[in-house]
Amino acid sequence: MNEVHRVIQDRQSARVPFDPDRKVSKEDLKEILDACRWSPAAHNMQNYDIIVVDDPEVMEVIGNVKSRISEEFLRENYEQLSFTKKELLEKKTGILGSMFPPAWVDPSKMAEVARESTPMPLTQSIRGSPCLLIVVYDPQKRAPASEGDALGFISLGCVMENMWLMAESLGICLQVLSSFASKPVEKQVKQILCIPEKLKIAYACRLGYPVDSTRYLRVRRDVTDFAHHNKYGNKDI
């Protein structure tokens, strides 16, 4: 297999604890940030900054930030879940419900969970990671004529993919943590890291080395499920 293709296919979300004592080296971090630097961006705006957090004291303060899961997240999350490996393999999209606490995947309990569960500290998401990359952007600067700044968001996604592929090629695992962009978490993390008021957090990534090397079932649609030849609907590809 072509090397680029191998890295693309091997990259996976590392939803496992990381070894807090196994740091990401400065050289590897530089490579990852340089990969971000060369990501494509609408109008080459490069509308992002990245805060690298690897000071254990700062990590601890961030880890103490607490948030409660929203009912909106629970309901929309549920729509993407499969409950057996067979179901997931047939669907070819989404993720396994077993990744979440049982109460999160029980529609009859979602309102109660959202209302009454104790707020969880971010340390439960960071799970021993020695390094976070927090990607921020300026919402005042949109890509020219891009409704809702879709092009700007795509560009932030390109940054994510470049950093992820470079991390993968260096043997470093990564998990995206969207919860850093939720309003209550964003507000506190911005304060802790002195992020200017006008900037927003797009996402955070936790980097590191897993304590064990479990891989989980990953599914994808087939090329013929999404590719069309010369006209929509022509599957002769």
Rounded to the nearest whole angstrom, what is the least distance from the CB of residue 233 to ligand FMN in the complex?
A: 27
Q: Please, which residue, 110 or 122, has the CB nearer to ligand FMN?
A: 122
State both tokens at 31. 């490579």
67 interacts with ligand FMN by CB under 6 A: no
Rounded to the nearest whole angstrom, what is the least distance from the CB of residue 163 to ligand FMN in the complex?
A: 12
- Contacts of ligand FMN in 92-151 (CB under 6 A): 95
Q: Residue 174 has what DSSP assignment?
A: E
Rounded to the nearest whole angstrom, what is the least distance from the CB of residue 125 to ligand FMN in the complex?
A: 8
39 interacts with ligand FMN by CB under 6 A: no
178 interacts with ligand FMN by CB under 6 A: yes
Q: Is the dihedral of CA 166, 168, 88, 105 positive or negative?
A: negative
What letters, b where the CB count within 10 A reaches 16 and e where it falls short, cover 193-221? Answer: bebeeebbbbbbbbbbbbeeeeeeeeeee
Q: Please, which residue, 117 or 182, has the CB nearer to ligand FMN?
A: 182
176 interacts with ligand FMN by CB under 6 A: yes
182 interacts with ligand FMN by CB under 6 A: no
Alpha helices by DSSP H, listed for 15-172, are 26-37, 56-63, 71-78, 85-91, 110-116, 123-126, 150-169
State both tokens at 8. 């693309």
70 interacts with ligand FMN by CB under 6 A: no
12 interacts with ligand FMN by CB under 6 A: yes
Q: Please, which residue, 58 or 176, has the CB nearer to ligand FMN?
A: 176
Size of the site for ligand FMN (CB under 6 A): 11
Q: Is 228 left (phi over 0), alpha (psi -120 to 50) or beta?
A: beta
Compute the distance between CA of residue 49 and CA of residue 33 in angstroms, rounded to an integer.
10
Which residue's CB atom is positioned nearest to ligand FMN? 178
Give the binding site for ligand FMN (CB under 6 A).
Answer: 12-13, 15, 95, 175-179, 203, 218
